[in-house]
């Protein structure tokens, strides 16, 4: 049995897993990222996460075939994280440092790319030739798989679907542009739309849920809509409209076999998927094709990043 080490670095946690040939995580560890802080401190905790996961699996790091790392930001072909705003990294030699620490072949890619590759090898996009995975979280992360390989572009920064504009001069985005897909279709975008609608409609059931929960969440408008609230229904319909626009744009560019979406909002199931698929079908250029892109929900959850990172060696 061969073992592979996968590391998924997030703004909150560094998650490490030992993955076998069947794409199963047989042991795992989690260490707080506590970003931003000096690179050397985060690097020490990345190493610690590897040692903890290996100890849990009853193996030593040298028993693994390779190490794969999924890291937020722009990761170049030399294994350098050129820039990661979430971690405060600027031109840090992450792959060489991990490779030197453990003496094992190490691979590095953007965290969204790694998660997409995880879905491609073992999840919702398994069996596809071309696939796109989009995660609707604090932002909109995406990974593109073409002919079985991650597409990163000539500058290793490709796949930033979240920063394509769907509303010219629209909402400000954290990237500096206005009207980005991310500003409208992320969980943050849904929360912002919900908050604004709740303030405009003080009699809405949304305000009841906000008071009960003590906050506005990505579930608030959907809970209200299911309770017959008109303001909640309007928010969910507008959200689907924006989401469908960005997804249709993506399909028109890449025409993947499968496009899978992930994130907490996908827990709404058919309440989200049925109107979304209908809206996308009305917008894609290939609407009369015998083989249209299948839109599905990601199946690996938070494990996608670990499994995808571990399997980067198989590209």
Residue 149, pLDDT score = 95
Range of the domain at 179: 128-297
pLDDT at 156: 86
Partners of residue 143 on adjacent β-strands: 133
Helix ranges (H only) for the chain are 39-57, 94-102, 111-122, 181-185, 187-200, 205-213, 220-226, 230-254, 270-281, 303-310
Helix (H, G, I), strand (E, B) or coil at 204: coil
The tens digit of pLDDT for each residue in 152-206 reads 998 888 999 999 999 999 999 988 999 999 999 999 999 999 999 999 999 999 9
Residue 141: CATH number of its domain: 3.30.420.40
Length of the chain: 315
Q: What is the pLDDT of residue 290?
A: 66
Q: Do 63 and 132 share a structural domain?
A: no
Q: Could you read off the pLDDT of 124-159 as tens digits, one per residue?
A: 999 999 999 999 998 999 999 999 999 999 888 899
Please tell me whether residues 11 and 103 are part of one structural domain: yes
Are residues 38 and 152 located together in one domain of the fold?
Answer: no
| Sheet with 89-92: strands ordered across | 74-75, 81-84, 89-92
pTM above 0.85, yes or no: yes
Give yes or no: residues 159 and 260 share one domain: yes
pLDDT of residue 315: 83
Rounded CA-CA distance 220/73 in Å is 30
Residue ranges of the chain with pLDDT lower than 70? 287-290
Q: What is the per-residue burial (b if ≥16 Cβ within 10 Å, else e) of 69-79? A: bbbbbbbeeeb
């Amino acid at each position: 049995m061969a073992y592979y080490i996968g590391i998924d670095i997030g703004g909150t946690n560094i998650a490490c897993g030992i993955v076998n040939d069947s794409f199963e995580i047989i042991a795992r560890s989690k260490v707080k990222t506590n970003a931003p802080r000096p690179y050397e401190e985060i690097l020490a905790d990345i190493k610690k996460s590897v040692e903890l996961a290996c100890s849990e699996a009853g193996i030593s790091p040298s028993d693994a075939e390779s190490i794969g790392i999924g890291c937020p930001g722009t990761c170049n072909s030399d294994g350098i994280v050129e820039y990661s705003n979430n971690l405060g990294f600027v031109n840090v030699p992450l792959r060489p440092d991990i490779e030197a620490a453990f003496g094992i072949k190490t691979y590095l890619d953007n965290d969204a790319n790694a998660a997409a590759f995880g879905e491609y090898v073992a999840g919702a996009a398994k069996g596809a030739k071309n696939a796109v995975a989009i995660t609707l979280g604090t932002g909109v992360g995406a990974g593109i798989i073409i002919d079985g390989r991650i597409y990163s572009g000539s500058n290793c920064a490709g796949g930033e679907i979240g920063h394509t504009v769907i509303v010219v001069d629209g909402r400000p985005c954290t990237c500096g542009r206005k009207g980005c897909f991310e500003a409208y279709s992320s969980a943050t975008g849904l929360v912002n739309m919900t908050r604004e609608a709740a303030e405009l409609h003080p009699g809405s059931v949304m305000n009841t849920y906000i008071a009960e929960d003590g906050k506005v969440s990505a579930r608030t408008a959907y809970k209200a809509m299911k309770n017959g609230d008109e303001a909640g229904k309007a928010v969910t319909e507008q959200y689907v409209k924006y989401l469908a626009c960005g997804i249709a744009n993506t399909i028109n560019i890449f025409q993947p076999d499968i496009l899978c979406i992930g994130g907490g909002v996908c827990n709404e199931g058919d309440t989200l998927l049925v109107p979304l698929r209908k809206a996308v079908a009305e917008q894609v250029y290939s609407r009369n094709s015998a083989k249209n892109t299948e839109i599905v929900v990601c199946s690996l959850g938070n494990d996608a990043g670990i499994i995808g990172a571990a399997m980067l060696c198989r590209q």
